[in-house]
Amino acid sequence: MLKRTTNYRFQTYGDVFYSMKSAGQNGSTVQSTLHLNSKNFDSWYYSSTTVYLNCTSGIVLLVTSRDGIKYDEFVIHRVVRIKPGIFFNMISISNESTVETAYAPSGLNQKTMDEPYEYEPIISKLDVHEILTCYYQVRKSNYVFPGESHDYYELTYIDHGKLHTTIDGKEYVLNKYDLVIYYPGQFHTQSTDSESTCSYLTITFDMHSELEQKLINRIFHTRKDVYQVLSKFMKVMQNQQFLNYELAILYLKEVLILLYQFDIKKEEAISNNPMQEHYENTLLNEILVYIHNNMYSSFTVEDLCQKFSISRSSLQSLFRTNIHITPKQYISNVKLSQAKILIQEHKRTISEISDILGFTSIHYFSRKFKMQYGLSPTDYAKSINQ
- pTM score: 0.65
- Directed axis angle between helix 312-323 and helix 327-345, to 10°? 60
Q: Is 342 exposed, middle or buried (0-12, 13-18, 19+ CB in 10 A)?
A: middle
In degrees and rounded to multiples of 5, residue 133 shows phi and psi of -145, 160
SS3 helix, strand, coil % of the chain, rounded to 5? 30, 35, 35
Given a cut of 70, whether residue 271 has pLDDT beyond it is: no
The residue that leads in pLDDT, 46 or 360, is: 46
Given a cut of 90, whether residue 117 has pLDDT beyond it is: yes
Q: Is 174 exposed, middle or buried (0-12, 13-18, 19+ CB in 10 A)?
A: buried
Given a cut of 70, whether residue 270 has pLDDT beyond it is: no
Chain segment 331-368, per-residue pLDDT in tens: 999 999 899 889 988 889 999 999 999 888 999 999 99
In the chain, what are the domains? 3-118 (2.60.120.10), 126-264 (2.60.120.10), 278-385 (1.10.10.60)
Closest by CA position to 198, among listed 236, 157, 250, 170: 157
3-class DSSP assignment, residue 235: helix
Provide mean pLDDT across the span 144-153.
Answer: 96
Asked which of 19-33, 104-118, 242-256 is least confident by mean pLDDT, the reply is 19-33
Most confident segment among 46-60, 267-281, 289-303: 46-60
Residue-level pLDDT at 195: 86
In degrees and rounded to multiples of 5, residue 182 shows phi and psi of -85, 125
Q: Which helix (H) or strand (E) holds 3?
A: strand 3-4
Chain segment 312-325, per-residue pLDDT in tens: 999 998 898 888 88
- CA-CA distances (angstroms) from residue 345 to 318, 374, 385? 34, 20, 11
Could you tell me if 148 and 276 are in contact, meaning their C-beta atoms sit under 8 angstroms apart?
no
pLDDT band at 269 (very low <50, low <70, confident <90, very high): very low
Chain segment 26-39, per-residue pLDDT in tens: 667 888 999 999 99
Given a cut of 50, whether residue 49 has pLDDT beyond it is: yes
Rounded Cα distance, 336 and 369, in Å: 6
Given a cut of 90, whether residue 163 has pLDDT beyond it is: yes
Given a cut of 50, whether residue 20 has pLDDT beyond it is: yes
